[in-house]
Chains A and B, each alone.
Chain A
Amino acid sequence: MRVLVLVKASPESETGQFPPDFKDLVSDMDKYNDALTKAGVMLAADGLYPSSKGKRVRFDDAKRTVIDGPFAETKELVAGFWIWQVRSMDEAVEWLKRAPFGGGAEVEIRPIQEQEDFQRDLDATAARAAR
């Protein structure tokens, strides 16, 4: 299975400021990413620019409104992500525990819905509806 690991934004990541121990953090993260790669777990990884560089499009019936960043709800914003190949959510959790985060950071793991899963869920919903 694949999972998307979402690293949430913080006031620092949103202002684009680097913390004082930036170099250590980068080196720890490099080591961690290297371990993920060596284990064949890492499929993709990227960091995102602060939301000030982002845009949103709002949909109201036929109307489309473009909203420029930054966006206020910092803790709901995403600052970076990984895509991992793992055998279970437990394995994903075990890997994430080893990540070099601190300071109350919360990182979220969400299983990626594969097309087969989607079809199965759809069938199950249809079967329930038919009953």
Chain B
Amino acid sequence: MTVEAHRAIDAVWRIESARLIAGLARVTGDVGVAEELAQDALVAALEQWPSAGVPEKPGAWLMSTAKHRAIDRIRRDATLSRKYERLGRELLAAEEGGDPESRMDEEMGDDVLTLVFTACHPVLAMEARVALTLRVVGGLTTEEIARAFLVPTATMSQRIVRAKRTLAEARVPFVVPSPGERPARLAAVLEVVYLIFNEGYSATEGQDWVRPGLCDDALRLGRVLQALAPDEAEVHGLAALMEIQASRLRARIGPGGEPVLLLDQDRGRWDRLLIQRGLAALERAVRLGPLGPYALQAAIAACHARARTAAETDWPKIAALYDALAQLDPSPIVELNRAVAVGMAFGPAAGLEAVDAVASSPALRRYHLLPAVRGDLLRKLGRWAEARSEFEKAADLTANERERRLLRHRAAECAADEIAG
């Protein structure tokens, strides 16, 4: 029974923690305090549920327990009373006249959205935003987040404590951003979610090429945002992008754990359910318009998803979408991708020309995909010796072990081509 109860508590925590912390943060105005109170309630559940059983409405139980714990703390410790002054007043008022269930659903949704905005507040460093978002919105434990980012639990725990302190010290209010601030703040939220996704999708560090657990967490956050901010085109754009990219996860890994590139993938292994969800999200983004950077990237991903074979890919359309993306959000990496599409649409010579136009960009100097792309185009042009040296350069630059092996393999293939050619 005890083991079962503990597992049930874990599951309840996953489901309820974001709403619980968000609801408490609304009352306390402080995410850190809200999280402590939620933890108190969790401890109470661990004490009581194994013998008393899981209550019928576990979310409401946790909420009212957290509030009672807060009142206890205030009564016990006079020095806390200043910190909790407002909370105390609100709680006592709520105790007299409120049914916690009555204001549950819609308002709770708004509270969770406010929680997302707060956890991704620009006052926090990027890695702090990521950690705090996974912790308070995603319902992950500190150990899980630490494992996902390959750092010791103590380090991650410190990072989260510091993030909460920074929010408190900067007196970041627990409110949704004003309409004027909203676009920038929303962009910050989407950036955090996409960063989590990408860390799972193409791990920058470590032994594994992908870490699907992180992709699932990011996807889930993206889907939550779709439900909480349904009128934002870019929210659907990002969801579409992640769904379509995730649809290829299992096709991206070969039998030996090595990466398989997009055009070499077995499309039968693509996840049709995720593709369908991605295309539907993209359609919503298009309907809401105008297309932002995420929706444009999703539109590009959709071109691949719609092609039944690699040969059927609509490369001119992809090149045009990269053009639009480069105008909206200019970056050497987008230009490099555009060059790849140009090469596919109009031949390797045109592609190489486009690559060389951005090759001198300082941002690409240590970017392993620049030589990898050049190598690919040179190989298609039959310039094997040059291609081989580009692949070797790329292999030296990547930090991912699996990718390095793939690039060395390509270099070796070029050497073989040279002998055969």
Partner of B7 from A83, A85, A90, A114 at Cβ < 8 Å: A90
Question: Which residues from A are CB-within-8-Å of B408?
Answer: none
Question: Which residues from B are CB-within-8-Å of A114?
Answer: 250
Measured CB to CB, the closest approach of chain A to B21, in angstroms, equals 14
A42 to B11, CA, bound (A): 16
> Contact: A116 with B273, CB < 8 Å?
no
Question: Which residues from A are CB-within-8-Å of B224?
Answer: 38-40
Determine if B15 is an interface residue (Cβ-Cβ < 8 Å).
Answer: yes
Determine if B383 is an interface residue (Cβ-Cβ < 8 Å).
Answer: no
Measured CB to CB, the closest approach of chain A to B271, in angstroms, equals 9
> Contact: B277 with A43, CB < 8 Å?
yes
Determine if B381 is an interface residue (Cβ-Cβ < 8 Å).
Answer: no
Q: Scoring A residues 61 to 105 as 1 if CB is less than 8 Å from chain B, else 0, what string do you get?
A: 000000000000000000000010101101101110000000000
Interface size on A, residues (CB 8 A): 23
Determine if B228 is an interface residue (Cβ-Cβ < 8 Å).
Answer: yes
A85 to B105, CA, bound (A): 21
A83 to B277, CA, bound (A): 12
> Contact: B223 with A87, CB < 8 Å?
no
Question: Which residues from A are CB-within-8-Å of B303?
Answer: none
Determine if A37 is an interface residue (Cβ-Cβ < 8 Å).
Answer: yes
Question: Which parts of A18-50 form the interface with B (CB within 8 Å)?
Answer: 31, 34-35, 37-44
> Contact: B11 with A40, CB < 8 Å?
no
Residue of A nearest to B6 (CB): A90
Question: Which residues from B are CB-within-8-Å of A44?
Answer: 273
A34 to B222, CA, bound (A): 16
> Contact: A43 with B250, CB < 8 Å?
no
A115 to B105, CA, bound (A): 37
A38 to B228, CA, bound (A): 7
Interface segment, one of B69-77, B89-97, B213-221, B336-344: B213-221
Residue of B nearest to A35 (CB): B105
Measured CB to CB, the closest approach of chain A to B230, in angstroms, equals 10
> Contact: A94 with B109, CB < 8 Å?
no
Partner of B227 from A37, A85, A88 at Cβ < 8 Å: A37
Measured CB to CB, the closest approach of chain A to B403, in angstroms, equals 20
Question: Which residues from B are CB-within-8-Å of A37?
Answer: 223, 227
Determine if B46 is an interface residue (Cβ-Cβ < 8 Å).
Answer: no
> Contact: A91 with B105, CB < 8 Å?
no
A40 to B12, CA, bound (A): 15
Question: Which residues from A are CB-within-8-Å of B109?
Answer: 38
A114 to B213, CA, bound (A): 14
> Contact: B10 with A40, CB < 8 Å?
no
A-B contact pairs, 25 of them (CB 8 A): A38-B109, A38-B112, A38-B224, A38-B227, A39-B15, A40-B222, A41-B220, A42-B223, A43-B277, A85-B220, A87-B14, A87-B216, A88-B10, A88-B11, A90-B7, A90-B8, A91-B14, A91-B15, A93-B8, A93-B11, A94-B11, A95-B15, A114-B250, A115-B250, A115-B269
Chain A residues near B (Cβ < 8 Å)? 31, 34-35, 37-44, 83, 85, 87-88, 90-91, 93-95, 114-116
Closest 3 CB pairs of A and B: A40-B223, A40-B220, A94-B11
Other 8 A-B pairs with CB < 8 A, given A85-B216, A87-B14, A87-B216: A38-B112, A38-B224, A40-B220, A42-B223, A85-B219, A88-B10, A90-B8, A114-B250
